[in-house]
Structure formats: structure tokens, C-alpha cells
Amino acid sequence: MNEELLGKVILKNGYSQFRLRQAKKNVFTRLIESWDAATDLPEDLRALLAREVPIESLSARLLVESAKKDTLKALFATRDGLFIEAVLMRHDRDRRTVCVSSQAGCPMKCSFCATGKLGFKRNLTAEEIVDQVLFFARLLNKKRESVTNVVYMGMGEPMNNYDNVMASIRALNDKDGLNLGARHISISTCGIVPGIKKFAKEKLQVNLAISLHATDDKTRSRLMPVNEAYPLGKLMKAAGEYAVATRRKVMFEYILISGVNDSDEHARSLAALMGKNKLYHVNLIKYHETFAKGGTAPACPATAAVFRVPARERMNRFFDILKKSGVSCTFRVSFGEDIAGACGQLAPKE
């Protein structure tokens, strides 16, 4: 829902700020699905809003649920005919996280990621990003549940759509909107250094995650072409400056890929890269095959032929080396792998 358009339509047609607040409450708190349900608004205003301010900028085309029933993936069509995906993860009894996309496709071409195979279509608007969250908020509301967390870890590179991403965060954080706490929102970047530096100056206490995935430039460039522009030296310098400026944790994401970045030597190199910085935390992630069945992702045979999931013993060994080296680290739980909804698997098709 376009908040700027909502304000213009209501105020320019002679309605008060009170009516604007009521309208926003209907969308973000009552989570209405049509203006007809906003019964506290005058009938003529409801008719005006129905004509000029659509509640949804996206059309949900498909909703698939994982076998464990802990993950829902939605396929959306934009008004100009593009397709994006977003994922709802049910972590436990109370925590509900929405993983949103910030771009249609992605220009970064990470070799392990299905989204990167799609190429880049366009940036999503702030409205389209917020509407992904609102879609799941409405579903949860019917079960007397609510969205508790939002992560910008879906399709696209958030730092390459900086202004729209930040506008969407402010809308989600707005006390008159979803009122989602900034500390419950996380942005993940593949390592866009200028974006990290800009983000360090924001006043919102939003979390930062950096996709690392390798500890030497040769391997990282193979996995992530962005490393050519922003190699590890520049990236780690920016991360350190961010931590000093904000006094907030930096989460480093590290996908374990068999025979590529999962050896004991790699683990020790990662520990050395983290150093003794108490504000650094490593999230280890198992590689998710990008040809998963049962979802909306197309096959990616090129990646499937190269990359494999490490054995559980190898991943445990990697984790143990980090822990014994004093690195703060956790294994991220995988959600929705069977519906192509896990990290690196989003790649929608109609």
C-alpha cells in the first residue's frame, strides 16, 4: 500500500489527519483486505480509496507450504508482470519471520544462488517490499498471530536498492504502521562497501548481515563476483568501521560448500579473519541445492553440477574449530528447502 499516495488522496480531498490515521490503522493494524472493511471510515471516503489507493501492489499467484509446515513461500506478480518470492518462517511458538525480496532478479551473479541465474529485472518499490510483509501479516492475523521479524535476505541485493529499502524499513517501523521494532529487522548484503558505510550513519538500529562465504579473495571471487569490486580487505575494513561507529553486532553469513570452503584450513582462516572482535558473529549455513523440487524454482544444472552439501561430520568439525578459536557462531536452521524456499533457492517462474 502506497502511504504517500494515501496521504495525498485523503488530505487533498478535504479529509483530516484523523481520517488518515484511521486509514493507516485499518491497513497496518486491523490488516484489512479491502477498503470495504474499513467501516470506521465514511462510505464516500471508502469508495474514493477503493478507486485511487489499491491496498495491494502485488498479486499473490501461488502459496506453497513445506512438509514440516514451518515455512510458507509466496509467489507474487508485480503490476508490470514480473515475479518475485517471499518466505514466512515459523521459528517457534511465537517468532514469525518474513524474508522479503528487494529486487526482481539480482545483478550480483553469485555462483551458488538460483536468483543470480535470473539476471536483474528492476528494483522493487518501498510499497512492493512492505506489501510482502503485509500479505503474510494478514494470513497470520487470521490465526491471531503476527509478524515479529523481517529479514531482507530474499531476491536481490538490498544495498543496490538503498533508498527504497530504507523507506520500507521506516514504514514497517512506524508506530502508526506495523510498529515493528528496528532490532527485529535485518539487512543482508553480499558486500557492497559504499552501502555498508552509508548504513553505518543511519539512526535506526537495524541489524547488518554480510554474506562472506570465503576467507581468501580467489575463492570468494569465484563464488561472488562482487569481490572483484570490493575484495576482502575493503569489506572487512568497512565492517570494522561499522561496528565501531554503531557498537552493533555484524553477522557474517558463511555457506558451507563441500570441497570449496569447508576444510579445517578454511575454518582456521575464518577464525583469524574474525579475530577477537566481540561484535562479530558467524552464521554457518549449509549449502542448499538450487534444483530443489516441489517449489517454483527452475532447475539450475550448472550450479548443481559443481556444488554439493558437506557431510554433517564435516560441518560439525568446521563449527567446532570456530568455537574452540573463540568465535561467536551458530548454525542457522534451514527452512523450506523442500519448496525451494531456503537461502539461495528463490528463483520464481510463472
Task: Indicate if 99 belongs to the active site.
Answer: no
In angstroms, rounded to a whole number, what is the distance separating the alpha carbons of residues 59 and 83? 9
Task: Indicate if 343 belongs to the active site.
Answer: yes
In angstroms, rounded to a whole number, what is the distance separating the alpha carbons of residues 346 and 102? 12
| Sequence ranges of the binding site | 106, 110, 113, 156-157, 188, 211-213, 288
Per-residue cell: 235? 569489506
Backbone angles phi, psi at 3, to 5 degrees: -65, -40
- In DSSP terms, 255 is beta-bridged to 285
Q: At what angle do helices 162-173 and 126-141 cross, to 10 degrees?
A: 30
**DSSP per residue over 168-198, as a string?**
HHHHHH-TTTT---GGGEEEEES--HHHHHH
Q: Which of 33, 253, 343, 350 is catalytic?
A: 343
Q: Which of 85, 127, 128, 337 is catalytic?
A: 85
| Sequence ranges of the binding site for S-adenosyl-L-methionine | 156-157, 188, 211-213, 288
| Sequence ranges of the binding site for [4Fe-4S] cluster | 106, 110, 113
Regarding beta strands 207-211 and 103-105, do their DSSP bridges make them parallel or antiparallel, or are they unpaired?
unpaired
- In DSSP terms, 86 is beta-bridged to 74
User: Mind telling me the catalytic residues?
Assistant: 85, 343
